[in-house]
Structure 1
Amino acid sequence: MQETQGRLDRGNGTHLAWIKLEGTGPTVVFLPGFRSDMSGDKATALAAFCAARGQAMLRFDYSGHGASSGDFLQGTIGTWAADALAAIDALTAGPLILIGSSMGGWIALLTALARPARVTGLIGIAAAPDFTQRLMWDSMTPAEQATLRRDGVLHVPSQYGDPTPITMKLIEDGARHHVLTGAMPIRCPMRLLHGQADPDVPWELALRIAEQAETADVRVILVKDGDHRLSRPSDLALLRTTLLGLLGQDGA
């Protein structure tokens, strides 16, 4: 199947890069992680899988990420969640299966809460809801918190490349979008994949998501030696199998 691509005008001077596959519904929507984009291993593996099956798929870059325009330092969870809704509303129709990686898992939960009638399934890959508080702010030393308050940005070393800039704007906005605050009225089937060797997001967070989601159809799938990215061939095979299950085509 042929992919089409383009840029979605957000009306504020920002344009979101997107790539779309037409095909059978529901449309699979891939939501990348923090500082990640739609050209990563999981996104491209899913695109190839959907193309071979004739399955509709949408992938895109948040503002300030990948091929999209915008300033990453001005981005927030609210901004990127709004980007996701804008892309979905403008570029898809009918039911959706959301696949969110790391921060994308948080965006997927927010999207499912905002569009409950359309989201028929959700897969989290090392999903990291509320990470701006739990994994950023709460893990900082008092001196780092003071620097962030004073300067508005803190550059934190990253094992994945250049230091990660964390803004006070990101922390403050993230607090307004927490989802693990009680029962989450998400009632679609949910699958949560998480590596138990993940150095960035504790696998126990998947259990908390499962506990608070109102759906009874939720499964947590732990990969004992899996890291945060879950991008090895075996991890990608697990992701494909999990997606097939939500599509009702796993032979079960």
Structure 2
Amino acid sequence: MKLCRLIYNQRLCLSLMLKNQRRAFSDQSHDNISYLEISDKVTRETRKIAYERTSGLSQSEVLFIPGFLSHMSGVKANTLHSFCKTNNITYTRYDPSGLGASKSFPLNKTRLSHWIEDAETVLNYFEKPQIVVASSLGAWMALKLSQKYPEKFQALLLLAPGVNVTSQFVDTISQHLPKTELERLERGESFEFPYPEYGMVSLSKVLIEDMYKNEINFSSTLKVPFPVRIIHGTRVRVCVIIFISFKIN
């Protein structure tokens, strides 16, 4: 039994989620896009998500789960694609609902639950266990799925994980939104804010409540039967340090 302890900056995660204005997107084209169909578990609405799978000869396969408002043309997704192609490793990446080529479902209706369901669908579509690489908010989704489908994971790599950031998210909103907008949110109305590449993004009380609903209980350790590695930057000016521990059997 090994104890893997992560000390990470949750405010940095939130900053990356809300203000990632310097995120770069390459011009890399996607020639092998396929689609998976998802039937919403609550509304029964059907949506399609785009994915790209590059085959290799290696026995291992890599799946990338992107972060908040990121997709398969992001820097990390493209970097992994190049690495896997060079090393002949099968690699899968996808566009979460409302993003990239997965726009059959409107972005202003998406919730964290939708994105978890997207990742779950892609993970279960392929037979082999995956080396899952998850970034930012994607790490939250990956950890939830690791508890539900441990047999589908060969290993897990978390990049600057943004897990259980709802309270920090709400605190930031409360500090920066005018009182009138906060009252609108409390009444259940939507508020739109500008976001690079996507323009105006909708924020609602339903979205926030959905994030709370999906928070992971860290009162006890998470048991996972596969290797886990975490990479997180420490060069930050303002730190809110959180300790998260989980056991690896």
Would the TM-score normalized by the shorter structure come out above 0.5? Answer: yes
Aligned to 1:140, the other structure's residue is in SS state: helix
Q: Which residue of 2 aligns with 1:122?
A: 156
Partner of 2:130: 96
**Which protein, 1 or 2, shows the higher relative CO under an 8 Å CA cutoff with sep ≥ 6?**
2
1:44 aligns with 2:78: yes
Structure 1 residues 117, 33: CA separation in 2 closer, same or farther (over 3 Å shift)? same
Structure 1 residue corresponding to 2:189, chosen from 152, 175, 179:
152
CA 1:25 to 1:172, structure 2 compared with 1: closer, same or farther past 3 Å?
farther
Report what 1:136 is aligned to.
169
3-state SS of the aligned residue for 1:170?
helix
Partner of 1:6: 34
Instruction: Tell me if the contact between 2:107 and 2:201 (Cα under 8 Å) persists in the aligned partners.
Output: no
Give the number of aligned pairs. 208
> 1:25–1:94: 8 Å Cα contact kept in structure 2?
no
Does residue 193 of structure 1 match 2:231?
Answer: yes
Long gaps (5+) in structure 1: 217-252
Q: Which residue of 2 aligns with 1:175?
A: 212
Measure the CA separation in 2 of the matches of 1:154 and 1:25.
47
Amino acid at match of 1:84: A
Question: What is the alpha-carbon distance in structure 2 between the residues aligned to residue 148 and residue 37 of structure 1?
Answer: 27
Whole-Å Cα distance in 2 between the matches of residues 59 and 203 of structure 1? Answer: 31
Task: Work out the CA distance in 2 between the residues paired with 1:65 and 1:21.
Answer: 20
Compute the displacement of 1:108 (Å). 1.1
Change over 3 Å in CA distance of 1:204–1:119 after alignment to 2: farther
User: Equivalents in 1 of 2:212, 2:102: separation in Å?
Assistant: 25
C-alpha spacing 1:179/1:74, structure 2 compared with 1 (3 Å): same
Per the alignment, residue 18 of structure 1 pairs with 51
CA 1:186–1:146 in structure 2 vs 1: closer, same or farther (change >3 Å)? farther
Opposite residue 79 of structure 1, the aligned amino acid is: H
Distance, in Å, in 2 between the alignment partners of 1:160 and 1:199 is 27
In the alignment, residue 36 of structure 1 is paired with which amino acid? S
* 3-state SS, counterpart of residue 89 of structure 1: helix
**What's the secondary structure of 2:64's corresponding residue?**
strand
Q: Deviations over 1:172-218 (max 9, x none)?
A: 11111111432223342211111224589x6734xx33x1x2227xx
For 2:150 and 2:240, locate their aligned partners in 1 and report how far apart those are by CA, in whole Å: 26
Q: Distance in 2 between matches of 1:161 and 1:203?
A: 29
| Partner of residue 226, structure 1 | none
TM-superposed deviation, 1:141: 2.1
For residues 10 and 188 of structure 1, the distance between their equivalents in structure 2, rounded to whole angstroms, comes to 28
TM-score, with structure 2 as normaliser = 0.74
RMSD over aligned CA atoms reads 2.6
Match of 2:222 in 1: 184
Residues 161 and 194 of structure 1: is their aligned pair in 2 closer, same or farther, counting only changes over 3 Å? farther
Determine if contact 1:76/1:170 at 8 Å carries over to the other structure. yes
Alpha-carbon offset, residue 80 of structure 1: 0.8
Secondary structure of the 1:122 match is strand
Q: 2:229 is paired with a residue of what secondary structure? A: strand
Distance 2:49 2:96 in 1: 6
**Contact 1:63–1:83 at 8 Å: present in 2 too?**
yes
Q: In 2, Cα distance between the equivalents of 1:140 and 1:37?
A: 24
Q: Is there any run of 5+ residues in structure 2 with no aligned partner, and where? A: 1-29, 40-44
Summarize the alignment of residues 25-40 of structure 1 with structure 2, pairs less than 5 Å apart: 25-40=59-74
| 1:214 matches 2:247 | yes
Aligned-partner SS, 1:29: strand
Inter-CA distance 141–66: structure 2 relative to 1 (3 Å threshold): same
Q: Does the 8 Å contact 1:9/1:16 carry over to 2?
A: yes
Preserved contact between residue 65 and residue 139 of structure 2 (Cα < 8 Å): yes
